Chains A and B, each alone.
Chain A
Amino acid sequence: MSATAGIHREWRRYTPSQRLARFVLYFGLVFACVVSLRTVQIIPEFLYDAPEQMADLFKRMWPIDWAYYPKGVHEALIETLHIATLGTILAILMALPLGLLAANNITRNAALNYGAKFFLVSSRSVNSLVWALLFVAIFGPGALAGTMAIAFRSIGFVGKLFAEALEEARPGPVEALKAAGAPWTSIYLKGYWPQVEPAFWAIALFRWDISVRESAVLGLVGAGGIGMAIDSAMNLFQWERVALMLVAMLVVVIVAEVGVTWLRKKII
């Protein structure tokens, strides 16, 4: 009986629970899509003239107001870069101790590990624009709020990756230093640091690249940089100036990316 049942058994790639899980996932996907499409509020009148509006937008943007660059864009652009750079430096300074606390091969205390990880997760789960809103409320509008927003958003990112790099460090050199009776400063500087240095620079450069993009929009909520210039130009419908700022931002982002790639090759 049982032998013939074995012969006629139908072979399947997935277990029933796996198939059920997949079915639930696909069903959920289709369901979410259908419900969203049916209930989302789209005003059809707006959609009909979208091509016209788009054409109008580009027509208004067209003679790009290059002459405005030295007057109102250059300074804001430099401020954006300062916000991104200083914010990233601040974030790294604050993330280093948190990263050391979160790495379980350096801090051998589960409570401290989880405490540090909690800070890192909460820093990451709040968007940089929300951080900017909070810091505008605290420090008032301006570049300081933007810098703090970039810094607090970046702590989680830098700290998490730095802790992971530390956890991957080989214990050999550290044990050799300990056996030689090295003080703890030497253990960190000569045992751990050379091992995590490439990862550290890669993280710092990557985060700076992201910060440059993000700092450009912080001005929309009043946190300084070119976003503020874009916001005021838009409120005055000066689209040819908005176009200029968008082009300037595009150039900065591309230059930053090329620069980061070059520096990464050079350092690492």
Chain B
Amino acid sequence: MTGATLQARPPAFLPNWPARLAWIALAIYTVYAASLLDVTWARFVLGLEQGARFISRMFPPDTAPDKLALLAKGLYETVEIAVIASILGILLSLPIGLLAARNLMPPWVTWPTRLFVVLCRSFHQVIIAILFVKAVGFGALAGILALTVASIGFVAKLFAEAIEEISMKQVEAIRATGAPFMNVITYGVMPQVLNRFVGFATYQFDSNLRNSTMVGIVGAGGIGGTMFAAFQKFDYDYLLTILLAIIALIMLSEVLQNWIKKIYR
């Protein structure tokens, strides 16, 4: 009797065959893809040797005064690009995010706006920078425009989502007083989303700062151009100086971000 009930009881952890097959398929894919990449032991050892030489050539970091002046100029331009692109992008994101919010706008407004936002977001910043370098020439302006477009793609999307989550009661209350549209926005919508918007804006500034160190690789201004040139000239000790400076800049920006979040908490 007890033996029969014990036999009838199903095991606690049933083997999940579809999941196991998926794991096996993933393992096979990994081996196949790795074989395409031509990863051999000899190449790995050679890579280690080259890596050691590469790192030994990086030390000590280059601190010649003219190089440092170039570094400071590049970093300054990087920060400029990030500041202007963030402010432009965030200011443009406000109306665009509002137009994309489905609870405030009719569908014939939201769909084209949302499509535009998706287009802004679907390309990497560096690709957008390439197109702007062609359009407005080398220099900081191309970087500013590229990062502005990228900022719109990100901030406008999140802002629209934040607006779609608000409570409509306050909006209706303001509307019931007969307030015009702009007052509905400033008194009914903005107070509900301002905190989150500040969060998006600071995050986007941080992200723009990181990316503005990169757009220079394709000629769009900032420290990236100097870095890529140092790399191509095998000037690895200067490369290390630049990398350390970039990492310090990003750490500083994270401190700033935490400070701003604390103010608006």
Contact = CB atoms under 8 A, between A and B. Distances in A.
Given A25-B260, A86-B33, A214-B124, A125 B217 contact: no
Contacts of B134: 53, 57
B108 interface: no
B139 A86 contact: no
B39 interface: yes
Interface residues of A, number: 55
B210 A127 contact: yes
Q: Name the interface size band of chain B.
A: 35 or more
B140 A42 contact: yes
B77 A25 contact: no
B141 interface: yes
Given A25-B260, A36-B80, A40-B84, A53 B127 contact: no
A130 interface: yes
Given A32-B83, A125-B250, 6 more contacts: A29-B87, A53-B136, A137-B50, A142-B38, A230-B127, A234-B130
Contact of B136 (A47, A79, A137, A147): A47
7 contacts: A36-B80, A39-B80, A40-B140, A125-B250, A127-B213, A133-B228, A138-B47
Contacts of A54: 135
A42 B139 contact: yes
A176 interface: no
Contacts of A130: 214, 227, 243, 246
Interface of B: 13, 26, 29-30, 33-34, 36-39, 43, 47, 50-51, 54, 77, 79-81, 83-84, 87, 122-124, 126-127, 130-131, 134-137, 139-141, 144, 210-211, 213-214, 217-218, 221, 227-228, 231, 236, 243, 246-247, 250-251, 260, 263
Contacts of B221: 41
A214 B80 CA distance: 24
Contact of A129 (B39, B80, B214): B214
A55 B228 CA distance: 30
A254 B122 contact: yes
Interface string A95-114: 00000000000000000000
A74 interface: no
Interface string A106-138: 000000000000000010011101100110011
